[in-house]
Each structure stands twice: as C-alpha cells, then as structure tokens.
Amino acid sequence: MANGQPISAITSVGTPDVSVQAILTCDPRNGRAANQYANPACFSSPEPGLNGQYQTPYIKEPATMDHDISLFKTLPLRESRNLQFRYPVFNFLNHPYWFFQSSGPGLALNFNNGVLDNASIQQFGIPTRQTGSRTMQFSFIFSY
C-alpha cells in the first residue's frame, strides 16, 4: 500500500483534465476597442473550487473575404475539336485572413489573485495571425 498525496492549504482550481474556464460578467461583444473581437473586462475568474463556464455565448471571429475570378477562351480548331485556355485566380484581391492561434495572446486571459492582468487585457480579443494568399492556375483543355 502506497502513501497518498500530501494535503496542503493551497486552494486549487481546475482538474487534471479540464483547465479553469472564465466566467462571463457582461456581454463580451460590447465595449470593445478597435480590432478587438471580445471585451476582456467581461471575463472574471471563478470562485475557488469551481471551474467556471464550459460554453461561452457566440462570439464571432474575424470575417473572411475571398474573391475569385476566372478567364477562359475557347478556340475552335476543326470540326468538333476545340482548345480551351483557362486562367482562374483564387483570392485575386489578395485579402489576408486574420485568425486566432489556439495558444496565442489573443485568446489568453491571465488572472493574478482573481484580478485580470493588465498585459492580457491589451492583447485579448485581437487576432495576431494571418493567412491567405493569391492562387493562380493555367490550363489548356483539348476536347474532341
């Protein structure tokens, strides 16, 4: 028989399987700064011994915009034979897609003794990563 784990007076929250979840105190869609998708002042730490909410209300991520264009020209050769040139361009305006990285500063809220950390307030809700690129293709199709 092995000894159990030592007991301490330190209050712990969360479990080995689930981290502590913040509690909403207001609507995080209101009172946001420029380019901020959620108001960090609406989140607080749960009471000691509680894990907080597991599902938060719907909060939108950055919108995406993708414009595609395609040009093609069909050249008749003989009888039923054709040669077609195609030039599709995807995301031809080359708009970036902003997104939140799962462990990035835009999704992290840090609390010190139940009080929201000032550094995490300034970065929370602001997407820090971007992706998206213009893609071009050329093709020739010979039909008979």
**What are the tens digits of pLDDT across the range 27-58?**
888 888 888 888 888 888 887 777 777 676 66
Task: Give me the pLDDT at residue 16, please.
Answer: 66
Look at residue 90 in the predicted model and tell me its pLDDT: 94
Residue 93 maps to a domain: yes
Identify whether 1 is part of a domain: no
pLDDT of amino acid 11: 47
How many whole angstroms separate alpha carbon 141 and alpha carbon 144?
10
Domain region containing 130: 23-143
12 in a structural domain: no
pLDDT of residue 86: 97
Q: Is the dihedral of CA 25, 31, 35, 41 positive or negative?
A: negative
* Side-chain half-sphere exposure of 105, counting CA atoms within 13 A: 9
Residue in 90, 68, 96, 95 with CA at minimum distance from that of residue 137? 90
- Determine, yes or no, domain membership for 15: no
Could you tell me if residue 36 is inside a domain?
yes
Domain assignment present for 14? no
Task: Please name the residue that has the structure tokens 């990035």.
Answer: 104
Please give the DSSP secondary-structure letter assigned to residue 17.
Answer: S
Which residue stretches of the chain have pLDDT < 50? 8-11
Q: Is residue 91 part of a domain?
A: yes
**Is 16 within a domain?**
no
DSSP β-ladder status, 69-76 and 82-90: antiparallel
User: How many domains does the structure of the chain reveal?
Assistant: 1
